[in-house]
């Protein structure tokens, strides 16, 4: 289908050279002809009116009309009374066929982790917040603005973090960023500039993200083990790193909460080693079985860089997050942000501030807690019914769980067999620095999977997950 350009007369880039010696009409005919042959102008596309094209090129309208008439005679253009001049259907030489990536098959259930319920995004509230923010926004806010981000959003985020996360939050030490990936990159580059040479990360965790961000910052990335109490601080101390990336509120992907004694030991390590903790404060909004724990940053504001986003609470597409920095790093992080992209979109920042301070953000979180709790229950019930040999852990928060398969199962074979039955499963091995498939575990995300799909998906693969009839080595 040809593009239908709105407006009285679509623009078209053509040039004429009055010094070339070639007739102006010949130049015009040649350029329009070439534009059609090469596909710049597609079949059925509308050309500028003769009056507008003549005005744009400083030519007489009659010359342009003669050009159009000649190309119509040659079969390149078609005209109808009362309609615009368009490219003829037979004039266009189609480009070489593009190789299209085949669409993935439709799945009964896709237990992809890290994705919230996209269908529950509060679009009406977000559009309301955008209108409210735009109506109240002063003209000065349309400029590049403060590299740290909108002062209005930083004030609101600071108040929110103090209220909900027990953080020692000061708006002057907050830098708005475009999600976790950028926030981590800004933190690591600032630490590298401060003399840090190695950063540790949790294992299992997100080795690809940590290694990529560390490499860009010029740092070595070192894995440190996680057990049932959280990150192993003794192993961290032995690694020689002067920074560590942790998920203390709900460890990714095991789901354990950093134990109180480990929290204190981690802070003591940071002070003794003149080191820094990068706290990925994700999933803290979604707690079910116990009261939420406060942010680690609240214990040592001068040693912890806390990164938060709305990617899980609202939607990844918003690309909005924040870094709560120690005083010594607030300016370097802001300078790195300024050099990187001159700041995040201001109107979106103001809309988020309005959404939070209006109470609509809290209302959305309450609704999503109930949704995810119901899906968690559906997952437990489906596995109990169809795969009782599977043990689940990490269910106290967020919208993923770890499934421990019976001994003898083969992670990759189970994942492949489930895909052949239109169910998406994801193993633990990509989360391990070694890529090991033992012990055999799956990371089951249920954020963007409805209760019915959870039940049908587990029913379709129950025999694959159970020891007696499952897929084995």
Average pLDDT over residues 118-123: 97
Tell me, what CATH number does 397's domain have?
A: 3.90.1150.10
Q: 221 pLDDT band (50/70/90 cuts)?
A: very high
Strand stretches in 36-89, DSSP E: 77-78, 86-87
Count: domains in the chain:
3
In angstroms, rounded to a whole number, what is the distance separating the alpha carbons of residues 243 and 266? 11
Domain carrying residue 164: 121-358
Cβ–Cβ < 8 Å for 88, 77: yes
Q: 396 pLDDT band (50/70/90 cuts)?
A: confident
- What does the pLDDT read at residue 405? 96
Q: Quick one: which H or E segment has residue 269?
A: helix 260-272
Out of 320, 341, 358, a domain closes at 358
Helix axes 360-386, 346-357, angle to 10 degrees: 80
Cβ–Cβ < 8 Å for 350, 150: yes
> Residue 1 above 50 pLDDT?
no
Out of 358, 384, 402, a domain closes at 358
Instruction: Return the half-sphere exposure (C-beta side, CA atoms, 13 A cut-off) of residue 229.
Output: 11
Tell me, what CATH number does 335's domain have?
A: 3.40.640.10
Average pLDDT over residues 310-326: 97
Cβ–Cβ < 8 Å for 399, 375: yes
Residue 253 lies in a domain: yes
In angstroms, rounded to a whole number, what is the distance separating the alpha carbons of residues 156 and 350? 10
Distance of CA 198 to the CA centre of its chain: 26
Residue 48 has φ and ψ, to the nearest 5°, of -60, 155
Residue 471 lies in a domain: no
In angstroms, rounded to a whole number, what is the distance separating the alpha carbons of residues 115 and 249? 18
Average pLDDT over residues 234-253: 96
Q: What pTM was estimated for this model as a whole?
A: 0.86
**Bridge partners of residue 224, in order along the sequence:** 202
Residues 354 and 397 in one domain: no
- What does the pLDDT read at residue 19? 87
Residues 147 and 281 in one domain: yes
Residues 330 and 368 in one domain: no
Residues 38 and 65 in one domain: yes
- What does the pLDDT read at residue 374? 95
Residue 258 has φ and ψ, to the nearest 5°, of -60, 120
Residue 64 lies in a domain: yes
pLDDT in tens, 434-459: 999 999 999 999 999 999 999 999 99
In angstroms, rounded to a whole number, what is the distance separating the alpha carbons of residues 323 and 155? 13
């Amino acid at each position: 289908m040809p593009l239908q350009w709105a407006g009285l007369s679509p623009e078209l880039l053509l040039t004429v050279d009055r010094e070339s010696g070639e007739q102006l009409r010949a130049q015009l005919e040649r350029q329009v002809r070439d534009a059609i042959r090469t596909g710049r102008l597609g079949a059925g596309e509308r050309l500028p009116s003769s009056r507008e094209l003549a005005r744009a090129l400083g030519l007489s309208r009659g010359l342009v009309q003669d050009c159009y008439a000649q190309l119509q005679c040659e079969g390149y253009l078609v005209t109808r009374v009362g309609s615009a001049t368009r490219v003829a259907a037979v004039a266009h030489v189609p480009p070489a066929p593009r190789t299209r990536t085949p669409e993935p098959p439709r799945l009964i259930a896709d237990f992809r982790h890290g994705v919230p319920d996209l269908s529950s995004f509060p679009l009406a509230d977000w559009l309301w917040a955008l209108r409210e923010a735009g109506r109240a926004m002063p003209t000065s806010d349309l400029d590049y603005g403060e590299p740290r981000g909108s002062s209005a959003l930083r004030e609101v985020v600071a108040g929110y973090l103090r209220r909900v996360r027990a953080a020692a939050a000061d708006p002057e030490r907050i830098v708005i960023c475009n999600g976790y990936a950028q926030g981590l990159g800004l933190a690591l580059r600032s630490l590298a500039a401060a003399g840090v040479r190695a950063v540790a990360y949790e294992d299992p965790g997100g080795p690809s993200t940590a290694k990529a961000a560390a490499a860009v910052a010029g740092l070595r990335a070192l894995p440190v083990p996680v057990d049932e109490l959280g990150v192993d601080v003794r192993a961290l101390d032995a690694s020689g790193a002067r920074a560590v990336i942790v998920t203390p509120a709900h460890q990714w992907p095991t789901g354990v909460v950093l134990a109180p004694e480990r929290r204190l030991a981690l802070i003591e390590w940071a002070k003794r080693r003149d080191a820094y903790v990068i706290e990925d404060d994700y999933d803290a909004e979604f707690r079910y079985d116990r009261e939420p724990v406060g942010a680690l940053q609240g214990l040592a504001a001068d040693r912890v860089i806390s990164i938060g986003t709305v990617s899980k609470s609202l939607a990844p597409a918003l690309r909005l997050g924040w870094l709560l920095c120690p005083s010594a790093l607030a300016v370097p992080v802001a300078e790195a942000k300024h050099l990187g992209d001159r700041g995040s979109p201001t109107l979106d920042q103001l809309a988020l501030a309005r959404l939070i301070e209006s109470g609509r953000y809290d209302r959305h979180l309450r609704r999503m807690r109930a949704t995810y709790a119901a899906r968690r229950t559906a997952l437990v019930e489906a596995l109990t019914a169809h795969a009782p040999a599977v043990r689940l852990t990490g269910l106290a928060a967020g919208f993923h769980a770890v499934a421990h398969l019976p001994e003898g199962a083969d992670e990759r074979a189970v994942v492949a067999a489930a895909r052949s039955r239109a169910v998406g499963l994801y193993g633990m091995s990509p989360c391990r620095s070694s890529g090991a498939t033992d012990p055999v575990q799956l990371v089951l995300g249920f954020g963007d999977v409805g209760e019915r799909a959870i039940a049908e998906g587990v029913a379709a693969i129950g025999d694959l997950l159970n020891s007696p009839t499952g897929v084995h080595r």
